[in-house]
Amino acid sequence: MSVEEDSKGRRRWKPPVDGRPQPGGRTMAKKEKVRKKTLGKSSRDWVDRQLRDPYVLRAKEAGYRARAAYKLLEIDEKFRVLRRGSRVIDLGCAPGGWLQVAFEKGAARIAGVDLLPVEPIGEAVIFMGDVSEPGMTTKLINALGEKPNLVLSDMAANTSGHKQTDHVRTVGLAEIAAQFAIDNLAKGGTFLAKVFQGGAQGELLEKLKANFDEVRHWKPPASRPESPETFVIARGFRG
């Protein structure tokens, strides 16, 4: 994947010239249309939704690896979480859409981790592994050279089909990310994480309110209306 600068010096991701999906991306290929008849109903519904989704098309045209890039762009437009020269850690960074946005917005140093492999993005340092495994925190902090100003988490558990179970699992991942942020953020830093709507995040919110000056919930337009996901934005880490 290549990068170009516009007239104002802003970095932009160049889409592939041959129409192929980007490495690690989730764009639709022509062959998938041919295979639709062999898929189960839930898979066919997913394919249909992808083909109709304007954010999927926009992501492909802009060279982003996933439509999720627009969620972060919209959150940043409203809350200004990304600042030029900042140090960013992205937990659950595959396939790399949020890393692309952080790079594009001028982050000075970026590190990410995911259980899945992620193709290189700019100068970001990417680790394959579990954020909770011994030594991973040290690797991420060392990659930045000092504490991060921003911790991102788009982690979500694999869906089981049971909404409450999925909610609890995803909140559990958000709690892991929140503890990571509280343990490692620079003073005044920001934490952003995906959670699922429901009644099991009270403890998480209390923890964030005890450590940050401002805690907000918001669902960006790029998040599908039928999705239970929302995002928690905590700013002004007290240290």
pLDDT (tens digit per residue) in 68-125: 999 999 999 999 999 999 999 999 999 999 999 999 999 999 999 999 999 999 999 9
Residue with tokens 């600042």: 83
Q: Please report, for the chain, the start and end positions of each structural domain, with discontinuous segments joined by +.
A: 27-63, 68-237
* Mean predicted confidence (pLDDT) in 115-144: 97
pLDDT(10) > 60: no
Mean pLDDT over each residue of the chain, to the nearest integer: 83
Residue 126: pLDDT band with limits 50, 70, 90: very high
pLDDT(238) > 50: yes
Q: Which of 10-24, 175-189, 221-235 shows the lowest per-residue confidence on average (mean pLDDT)?
A: 10-24
Residue with tokens 């929140």: 178
Q: List the structure tokens of 42.
A: 């839930």
Query: Which residues are the active-site residues?
Result: 194
Kindly give, in sequence order, each residue whose CB lies less than 8 Å from that of residue 172, ignoring residues fewer than 6 positions away.
157
Max mean pLDDT range (57-61, 69-73, 156-160, 203-207)? 69-73
pLDDT(197) > 90: no
Res 34: pLDDT:
44
Strands 190-196 and 125-128: unpaired
* Mean predicted confidence (pLDDT) in 128-155: 97
Closest CA to 146 of 173, 116, 96, 184: 184
Closest CA to 184 of 142, 233, 215: 142
In the chain, the DSSP E strands lie at 2-5, 11-14, 87-91, 109-114, 125-128, 150-153, 190-196, 212-218, 229-237
Res 233: pLDDT:
97
CATH H superfamily, domain 68-237: Vaccinia Virus protein VP39 (3.40.50.150)
pLDDT(18) > 50: no
Q: Which long-range contacts (CB under 8 A, 24 or more apart) does 103-107 make?
A: 103/3, 103/11, 104/10, 104/11, 104/12, 104/13, 105/76, 106/11, 106/82, 107/82, 107/150
Residue 26: pLDDT band with limits 50, 70, 90: very low
More confident call, 43 vs 235? 235
Indicate the helix (H) or strand (E) that contains 46.
helix 41-52
Residue 19: pLDDT band with limits 50, 70, 90: very low
Residue 124's alpha-carbon distances to 26, 94, 109, 203, in angstroms, are 20, 13, 7, 32
Share of the chain above pLDDT 70, in %: 75
First CA to last CA across the chain, in angstroms? 37
* Mean predicted confidence (pLDDT) in 178-202: 89
More confident call, 202 vs 5? 202
